[in-house]
Chains A and B, each alone.
Chain A
């Protein structure tokens, strides 16, 4: 039979097909699948499901190369979130996802709904969310428009997570002009569940009812998935109405109702209506269960009358779930939703006939055979070729760049780096996020290399971190991809956690450009190398292409969200020096590498050179040494050397406790390296620890063949920073460094425009 057009539907013309983002080939594929001309509703459905955002049509073959298995992985990629066992019958579900384009045009709602979406991905697995993280990239804070974006994104993240009552515990924020027109907003959520409560989004049981629960469906967010699958242009501002509006209060009710539903036994599957809304949730649930499904759009609870099936199917109204219940349990499902003042309506059912059918009353408006609307999606293998520009930048001899005269005082350079917004204290941001709610945050934002969140009822805790240095990935994608994973592992290990698994959010430009697809292929390859070496499989994530604004793509930014496990939470350590007189030991060793560094960028305005080498065997060794030393109670603080190198790591450990910044004295004379590479180079595989027993730590390192060096001593609170290097002794008050570190972002953010128009005006005035 098949579907027939609704009265008044426009004719299916090449222009209409193009407006839906479908290529002529993709349209032909659709016609072949159906054996007839599609209806408007069917074109709408396919435009959403075959959008890059939903279909992964350019990324799937590359993603398949990633390692995804380990004994502790209970659920790998392909579900709403990945799940790993942490023992004691408990598991954590976690996932990271992008909300870049919505945030670029409407930062507050874009970021807020990004948090809402990732929360739902986690609680649909049967997990109670226990922590949020976010990974943000913006242009230079000198730009008024960027300051407006930062203020809006931060407020959006805060207002949503704070209201739902999930602590925001960690994240990272990087500023670079490459992100000027296209900020990155990646949100990660981690939830805790009993292994026995794990539920999957797989429709089952012929005759079982399909139920829409949560908020009503409105006209917001239609074509959001398609908007996420194209470059940002000057016309993108006009797409602000495609950005959804979040309601964290409804989300909190939906969270409680969903967890109650899952443990009630009345349902067999549940999925968030996220990108492409009802369309993708229903089609994907049917595909996973290998069953047919029929949906009547007149049954869907709507906010306004007169909505067409097309609008109902493609709406991205927030805080909605699709549930497959057990037949006969409809009233029980309704009662749970009513308790939480939410609606639940039966809108369809699971059927034996292998078909995906949408009706408007009795009129069939869309009908696809089997699950082919999901499985027939085209897969592309674009050309990959490194760009000449990047090759030339990487080849540049950065050691030939002359030092500036001020650099004779290394504390001048250090002060400049500490005030670089990428390195400077992010307190201005994270003090707007509730990090203490739920009462389990042992190490919160700004106090360690990773957040530490306790698991109630056990001695355990999990360590969480997001990471990626896009400049490294830009200059050498494979190395950059490896480092992103290695650094995230190092960060969780610095708290005493064994790295367990990752989720990733792959933010790249337009994959149809060979130089972008090269970055993607190589970065994912590097990530896979590191995941294999470090034993941290990939359990899922998200690909965000088309992060471009007129003129250029963002730095390729494959953000890693790492989960680590601590067996005995009382052993965990933070990043700040705690005790005057403790010894400072460097695990790992410095090199003469200077390429791709924050130093070159901040001090010399140069993005060039090769990123530091990443020796994965050495990284694995470092994790082992850290865990042994921390487990033996030898470590009072641990902090890795990353942006800004050894000098910045020392200063950060000294100042991380803003109330009592410690002085420090180190002697680096034993390293025969150029001073600026020694102090500010970003050699990988290094961690600065403080300890009452340096000999014991040096011995642990020596036993495993990891180089380690005693550098000096932690000073008293408020004392001086002293560095002996290159035959000279440099001294400065720690207060000078602390001021640079703590005041930089507040000073820059002191003037924030109130709207994008103001920002644009201000921009032209400066």
Chain B
């Protein structure tokens, strides 16, 4: 299985994503340069974290116009799996491949800390190795992670099971105190209606190694392998 990891100017967690898929998973990976129009035969596209184009204008706002994103959008529309992590999630929203938007954290400060996530939907190709309701320990590192969407859009997401991860306390309760950025309904990650594009603010690629405190993020990548193998 081949992962394509998109490299925009200002992307900085490309190496982390690379290590996550090539290390414990043993998958192959290629870097996809933003000026190119070639997905190099990738089976899965990852939009990694960072500050593409300096997050100038708005996080993700400029990246959506880059050449590679034309290809990523076409790939996604034809059913190809795409995962956007942190800045990648912001780009997917800006590119309208996912609904909603990511605003400045309610605290107006950057937040770097481990959080607890509850798996809301374990029936996706990104989460089939988790149990519904399973609690994960995964770090966040962002300044613009407050998920927002209009009430109708929110209802549609919830009704269709498109909310994939929610911030909770250590007992699995989505409290205000457990919400690190003020996201609507503690939403940390969502999936599109056709189930092939997922975005999340936390960093599963930084939770793949017991020495760094957690391996809970691995499930996302092993889920993709299991889905393709199935």
Contacts and interface: CB of A to CB of B under 8 A. Distances in A.
A247 B54 contact: yes
Contacts of B143: 159, 162
Interface in B74-90: none
Contacts of A659: 170
Interface stretch (A193-201, A434-442, A481-489, A709-717): A434-442
Given A436-B203, A438-B15, A162 B9 contact: no
B13 A437 contact: yes
A435 B16 CA distance: 13
Contacts of B15: 438-439
Interface in B195-230: 203, 205-206, 208-209, 211-212
Interface string A551-572: 0000000000000000001100
Contact of B112 (A159, A435, A454, A456): A435
Interface in A595-654: none
Contact of A436 (B109, B110, B112, B170): B112
Nearest to B50: A165
A340 interface: yes
Interface in A710-731: none
B136 to A, nearest CB: 15
A454 B111 contact: no
Given A162-B141, A249-B9, A434-B110, A439 B19 contact: yes
A439 B212 contact: yes
A340 B12 contact: no
Interface in A423-443: 430-442
B112 A432 contact: yes
Nearest to B15: A438
Contacts of B51: 162-163, 165, 248-249, 252
A439 B205 contact: yes
B180 to A, nearest CB: 9
Interface in B137-194: 139, 141, 143, 170
Contacts of A431: 109-113
Contact of B110 (A159, A252, A456): A159
Contacts of B43: none
A748 B206 CA distance: 32
Interface string A333-352: 00000001100000000000
A451 interface: no
**Of listed B10, B56, B112, B113, residue having the most chain A CB within 10 A:** B112
**Of listed A435, A440, A442, residue having the most chain B CB within 10 A:** A440
A155 interface: yes
**Of listed A430, A434, A442, A570, residue having the most chain B CB within 10 A:** A434
A158 B109 CA distance: 9
B190 to A, nearest CB: 23
Given A162-B143, A249-B54, A436-B112, A340 B9 contact: yes
Given A248-B54, A252-B9, A340-B9, A439 B206 contact: yes
B49 interface: yes
Contact of B10 (A249, A440, A442): A249
A175 B54 CA distance: 33
Nearest to B19: A439
B110 A158 contact: yes
Nearest to B33: A339
A740 interface: no
Contacts of B111: 431-432
A164 interface: yes
Contacts of B53: 249
Nearest to A249: B54
A442 B211 CA distance: 6
A393 to B, nearest CB: 39
A366 to B, nearest CB: 36
Interface of A: 155, 158-159, 162-165, 247-250, 252-253, 340-341, 430-442, 454, 456, 569-570, 659
Given A341-B9, A435-B112, 12 more contacts: A155-B109, A162-B110, A249-B9, A433-B112, A435-B141, A436-B139, A436-B212, A437-B49, A437-B141, A440-B212, A442-B211, A569-B211
17 contacts: A155-B110, A163-B12, A164-B12, A252-B9, A252-B12, A253-B9, A430-B112, A433-B112, A434-B141, A436-B112, A436-B141, A436-B206, A437-B206, A438-B16, A439-B16, A439-B20, A440-B212
Q: Shortest 10 CB-CB distances between A and B: which pairs?
A: A165-B12, A249-B54, A434-B141, A439-B16, A163-B51, A436-B139, A432-B110, A434-B112, A436-B206, A158-B110
